[in-house]
Structure 1
Amino acid sequence: MTESHPHPLFAHGTLLDPQVQAALFGRTVPTTPASLTGHTAGPLEIADGSRNLRREFGGTVEGAVLHLTERELAAADAHAGDDFARRRVLLGSGEPAWAHLDARPLRPAARIVIVGDSIAYGRCDPQGGWAAHLAAAHIASNETGHRVFNLAIPGSTLADVAAQTPPLLAPRHPDTLVVAAGINDSAELLAAPDTTRDNLSHLADRLTPLAATALRHNARMVVVGPAWLDETRLDDYEGLRFTTARALALRAALRAWCEDNHIDFIDLWEPLRDRPHLFVDGVHPTPDGHKELFRHLST
């Protein structure tokens, strides 16, 4: 963007001080009063003195939008530090803007919706998988304000998730949308090996509308990458072939899209890597495997 199309950044602390702006940007920048709904100011402080933004249904944080050049926006990112990530939010006016949020996306969450496939659903784990462990811990920390809605459906691809999710969000008032799908997009059809089925090249077509849907609900989107799989047990899995190479390609594509679009990415590859005993069938984790994934998500 150029000087004539500034980047809007929501701020609510000393970044609004003209002296701080002059020191950081070399000028006093234009600002517009604004509010951020669905948030409250928590105890963790950014370098500029702003308190960390946390999610709270019905909450409001008063502040202002700074209209920054691309260079100034990069300076604000550096000023915020590694504990914070710049993400899209929806202002009380309905306009989108940037804001610096907790770099650990699940820590400030209150109302979480999970969409995805059989692994997110918790298949092969009578306790409900990593999502159920996450729900139990999250709700136990705040029984009044915290909720987790697991809407994952076994067999889902990202195309399925993109089509099914929009009408499900409004009744649940989510502030965080966890998208845990994609491994089915990486599978190859055994019945038609010569047929082009490269769903991986269409990931952006699925993820972009999901990100837009999340923003309309002022929800932070979090993409969960695939877990390691045991390819030696997956030569023919219900007419599909899952391979390490394709799963790694999915992981790389999801990560790259998230980095390009300032969306949170949680990598689940390493917790189960080279640990085949934590799988029921090569792709679905055992109950202990799901506990390992939950522990990784919680750190």
Structure 2
Amino acid sequence: MTKAVWRWRRLGGVAVAIVLLAAGGTWHLMLSPWGYEPPAGLAPIEQGVPHRVFAFGTLRNPLVRGLVIGRHAPTQAAVLPGHAKVGLDVRPQPGAQTAGEVFVVEAGELRRLDRYERLGLRYERVELELEDGGPAWVYRRLARP
């Protein structure tokens, strides 16, 4: 075989390895039973009721949102008043507003979002009032020690 053929085969093998590593990492992060344990004392998620979630970061991407919750979840534009977006967080700030999207999930999907956001490790889930007057779950960064 020529050097060009070997080079293409090697590049193909590297591409396959990258795809497999990305798929394995995604599975481990979002679906595997290993690597995440919900925090102790977490209040149970209410079953049989819709849960509104306010997204201001990666969950605004329909592909990410679909991979995490397992289905397409339509969104509506929403605003979180009294909070400013700072990096990967929203922080209380009088007069500020954070634009985002709101979508509705069921209890099992909310647990998947908790896992994705690493509830208790990186984020906390708090219920805040959106500009439309309705409540929504918002993931906020935990303070670093």
Distance in 2 between residues matched to 1:100 and 1:76, nearest whole Å: 9
User: Is 2:143 the counterpart of 1:99?
Assistant: no
1:19 to 63, 70, 83: 63
In structure 2, the partner of 1:30 is: 74
Amino acid at match of 1:56: Q
Question: What is the Cα-based RMSD across aligned positions, in Å?
Answer: 1.6
In structure 1, the partner of 2:36 is: none
Q: What SS does the aligned partner of 1:19 have?
A: helix
Structure 1 residue runs of 5 or longer lacking an equivalent are 44-50, 108-298
User: Is 2:128 the counterpart of 1:84?
Assistant: no
In structure 1, the partner of 2:51 is: 7
Query: Share of identical aligned residues, percent?
Result: 32
User: Is 2:110 the counterpart of 1:73?
Assistant: yes
Q: What SS does the aligned partner of 2:71 have?
A: coil
Q: Report deviation, 1:99.
A: 0.4
In structure 2, the partner of 1:138 is: none
Distance in 2 between residues matched to 1:83 and 1:70, nearest whole Å: 20
Distance in 1 between residues matched to 2:135 and 2:71, nearest whole Å: 24
In structure 2, the partner of 1:56 is: 93
Q: Report deviation, 1:22.
A: 2.0
Q: What SS does the aligned partner of 2:92 have?
A: strand
Distance in 1 between residues matched to 2:90 and 2:59, nearest whole Å: 15
Q: What SS does the aligned partner of 2:128 have?
A: strand
Q: Report deviation, 1:25.
A: 1.5
Distance in 2 between residues matched to 1:18 and 1:83, nearest whole Å: 22
Question: TM-score normalized by structure 1?
Answer: 0.31
Deviations 1:29-83 (A, max 9, x none): 122211000101113xxxxxxx211111100000111101111111111111212
Distance in 2 between residues matched to 1:97 and 1:55, nearest whole Å: 15
Distance in 2 between residues matched to 1:98 and 1:72, nearest whole Å: 13
Greater RCO (Cα-Cα under 8 Å, separation 6 or more): 2
Distance in 2 between residues matched to 1:28 and 1:17, nearest whole Å: 11
Q: Report deviation, 1:14.
A: 2.1
Q: Report deviation, 1:88.
A: 0.9
Distance in 1 between residues matched to 2:95 and 2:59, nearest whole Å: 25
Question: TM-score normalized by structure 2?
Answer: 0.62
In structure 2, the partner of 1:42 is: 86
Q: What SS does the aligned partner of 1:28 have?
A: coil
Deviations 1:233-265 (A, max 9, x none): xxxxxxxxxxxxxxxxxxxxxxxxxxxxxxxxx
Distance in 2 between residues matched to 1:29 and 1:95, nearest whole Å: 18
Distance in 1 between residues matched to 2:58 and 2:137, nearest whole Å: 17
Count how many residue pairs are aligned between Structure 1 and Structure 2: 97
- List structure 1 runs of 4+ shifted beyond 6 angstroms: none
Deviations 1:156-212 (A, max 9, x none): xxxxxxxxxxxxxxxxxxxxxxxxxxxxxxxxxxxxxxxxxxxxxxxxxxxxxxxxx
